[in-house]
Each structure stands twice: as C-alpha cells, then as structure tokens.
Structure 1
Amino acid sequence: MILVKTNLGVSKIEGIGLFANEDIKKGTIVIKNNDNFGIAKYFEEQWKQMEKELSKESFRQIKKYAYKDKQDGLHCLCLDDTRFINHSKNPNIKTIGDNDVAVRDIEKGEEILIDYTVFCANEDLENEKYLKIDK
C-alpha cells in the first residue's frame, strides 16, 4: 500500500514508472507491504494453470508486472501502482522489515526505484536487459 502521493509517468528506465508527487524525506515509509492486501500470490500450479487458461497476450501482460518471490517461491502480482516501480542498482527506496523506506530524500517528480534483486528469484531476473543497466 502506497503511503505517499505518487503518479504514473514515462520512465527513462523501462515503460511506465511510479513517480513521487510530493517531496519525500529520507526515512519516510513509502510503501507498507502487507501480504493480506495489495498482492495476489500464486503457487506454481496455479501460475501454470493461469498460463493455460488465459490468452497468450493476457498472460504476457500479467507476467510483465509479476515477480517470483525469492523467499517463498510464490508468483506475486501487485494490485496497486507499486507494480510500476522500476529497478535500479542505486534505488531510492529499500525494504526494511514490512516497509519500503526512502533511503535518501526523493524530490517531487523523481521516479521511485527499488533493487529487484533483493526480493525477486534469480530465474525471474536472468533475461531482463534493463536490470543490467547501471542506473
């Protein structure tokens, strides 16, 4: 659940990005992560069944914004705009406990970025060309 004002925009990194719509101070909780709200989680069997039942294009759209969790191996799809947060090796938010916290001041209009390698299973990251960009 996003706790600060944000908006979607064109990302210089990849497609659509999530941008701060207010100045965010270092240490501010930007996102409250809650497994019971805001994230759909799928076991491998459910994921494969969804792939069989949906059209190729529909599943491609879902897969584009989903990730496989490094800890529990479940396929996760954020149901709010957090699914548009792009990757950076120099992120401005970081997961601390159940929260994603600003690691430095973030200016209004700046894209909110996180390091995917912290929570995504490696097989989800191998073919993502934008992860190799040092931003």
Structure 2
Amino acid sequence: MSRRFGRPYGLALTLAAALTLTISRAEEVCEGDHEAETVVDPYSPPIRQLRHKGWESYTIDQLFEEYYECARIIYGYQGYQGVAVVDEDGEGIWDEHVRRIREQLSTIREKYDRDNINNDAPINGGSRPSSMLIPFEVGDAGEHKGRGIFAKEGIQKGQLVIDLDNGSSGYFKDGHEWRKFTVSLSREVACNFIEWSWVQDMPRIDDGDEGEKNDVTDARDGLTIFIAFDESNLINSAEWDHEEANVACGSPPVDDGDYLVGPCRYKFYATRDIEAGEELLINYSEFEDVDQSGWDDIGL
C-alpha cells in the first residue's frame, strides 16, 4: 500500500515499465564527493545512480529524487525515459511484472527478517503469511492506475479481506532506521520500498464505552512507518478517481450501514458485497495524513 507519492501514478504503476531482465553493471569512480554506478538496461538508457555522501540526513524525497533518481525508472514520473509495456496476453495480467514484484517483496522481507528489525522475525526462519485473505489476481486497473487487485470470487459484506496484524507487515519506529534500511537495497528495490512504505499514527484500542485506554501496549502504536510484504501494496485508492471504496479498515460494518466503526488499525473489511472481477479499492486518507506531514515528524 504505497502512500508516499499518492495520486501521480503511485503504487500500482511502480514497475509498469521498469523491468530489468538483463542488467550489466560497471562501477566508476567520479570526481567529486560521490561514486556513480552505470546501469545498462534494455528498457531505458544508461542511468547513473549517484551514491551521495551525506545520505544520513536525506529526507524521503531526497532519497527518491536525488539518491536513487527513482523517477528515471518508475513509469509515470517526470523524467522517465523508458518505454511503455505492452500487455501481451491481452487479459490485463502482466505475469512478468507480477513475478518481479513478488521477487522484490521477497527481497525486502528476507532482509527485514535477516536484520531482525524490531526482533519480530519468524522463529527458525519460518515464512510469513499473506495479508490477503481472499482469492485475488493482479490485473490492469486502467488509465492512471496501472495494476490493481481484483477479486477472483465474490466477497460478502463484512468479510475480512486484509489482515496486516498476522505477521505480514513490518514496521520502523525511527526514521533513520528506515533510511539505513532503504540505502542498503539495490536501486529498483529501494525505489519500490519507498513507494510501498507509509506512515500512520496508529491509534490505541479503546477499552470500554467511556473511551478509557486499555493497559495493553503495542510497540507499533503512535507514529510508525509500515511496509507490507505482499501484493496488498498494489491496492489502489478510490479517492484518485473519485470512486467509492469497497474495502475499509476498522471493525466489520453493521448490517444496516456501509461504514465501519472503531479505530483504523490493521484489519480491512468489505463494506459491501463485492462481485468476482471487481477491483478492490480503499481510501488512503483513512489511515494516513493527506499532507504527508508524518514523514517530517518521524525524521524524514
């Protein structure tokens, strides 16, 4: 669920024309305060990836725009010089892109667990579950959105669709730890990691009708950077095209209403019956601030 760059193509177009099927790399030392890596990619002209000194103080925008020059390899951003990808199977399902996405998500997940961020890696190297609890497929969501997530079967109103509280996501409480993790990744993976990360001021669960706070503590409460380790990152925002969301976070909706109650934390439910083939849509504004000030507040 990429949140950082929102409407201008954001998460679903992240890899639309950034496949790197064969890559050769040549390292060169340049004059000045940085080294440059030249990447030869059949899908775009040679790109210089600058390794600036002083990255320790870079904001998220500087990492995206200057350190990795992500706009050069992410379709839809100004400055991209590659070519649009043709959907060869004619079904809106880009198998090669999906494979690339899953490979990069796996890379991020494995590094997160290997570094044992927050000491929450699976025991004995076990696998992490998917947050997606319904059968789905990745398909073409149309102009401006690129890829999206579509229901393969009908979903009933109130059914739990996504659970990010089952070990399927990671988190960072400190902006600099997130920054260090980002710069340790290869360019394409890092650009997508930036796109797929979001900041949320996670509310605590109220205990009782009077709104009293319970005694249960969760390290993820408060201002936190999150990353999902699966395809839930590709769910588009209904707000982009003024559509109506059919999935929302909170508690299951009541029988006589479409809206969910309770704090927006980790569980996302169907707000109405969803037919097979429908795109799943959420409202990003439900769980992150529209002006993105949370990134500044957490040190990025």
TM-score (norm 1): 0.80
Q: Distance in 2 between matches of 1:91 and 1:83?
A: 16
Equivalence for 2:185? 54
1:54 to 1:48, Cα distance in 2 relative to 1, 3 A: same
Q: Does 1:74 align with 2:224?
A: yes
Aligned residues of 2:196 and 2:227 also touching (Cα < 8 A): yes
Q: Distance in 2 between matches of 1:82 and 1:101?
A: 13
Q: Distance in 2 between matches of 1:61 and 1:14?
A: 16
- After superposing on structure 2, the runs of 4+ consecutive aligned residues of structure 1 that deviate more than 4 Å are none
Per-residue Cα deviation, 1:66-96 (whole angstroms, up to 9, x for no partner): 2112323222111122111111132101111
Aligned length: 124
Identity in percent: 27
Uncovered stretches (5+) of structure 2, i.e. residues with no partner: 1-130, 203-221, 252-265, 294-300
Q: Distance in 1 between matches of 2:194 and 2:279?
A: 22
Q: Which has the higher contact order (CA 8 A, sep 6+)?
A: 1
Secondary structure of 2:180's aligned partner: helix
State the shift of 1:117 in Å.
0.6
Equivalence for 2:275? 107
Uncovered stretches (5+) of structure 1, i.e. residues with no partner: 126-135
Q: Which amino acid counterpart does residue 88 of structure 1 have in structure 2?
A: A
Q: Distance in 1 between matches of 2:132 and 2:189?
A: 26
| Worse-superposed segment, 70-79 or 37-46 | 70-79
Larger Rg: 2
TM-score (norm 2): 0.38
Q: Distance in 2 between matches of 1:33 and 1:61?
A: 19
Q: Distance in 2 between matches of 1:52 and 1:3?
A: 32
Aligned residues of 1:70 and 1:122 also touching (Cα < 8 A): no
Secondary structure of 2:285's aligned partner: helix
| Worse-superposed segment, 6-15 or 108-117 | 6-15
More strand by share: 1
State the shift of 1:55 in Å.
4.1
State the shift of 1:57 in Å.
3.5
For the aligned residue pairs, the C-alpha RMSD in angstroms reads: 2.0
Per-residue Cα deviation, 1:87-116 (whole angstroms, up to 9, x for no partner): 113210111144211111111111101110
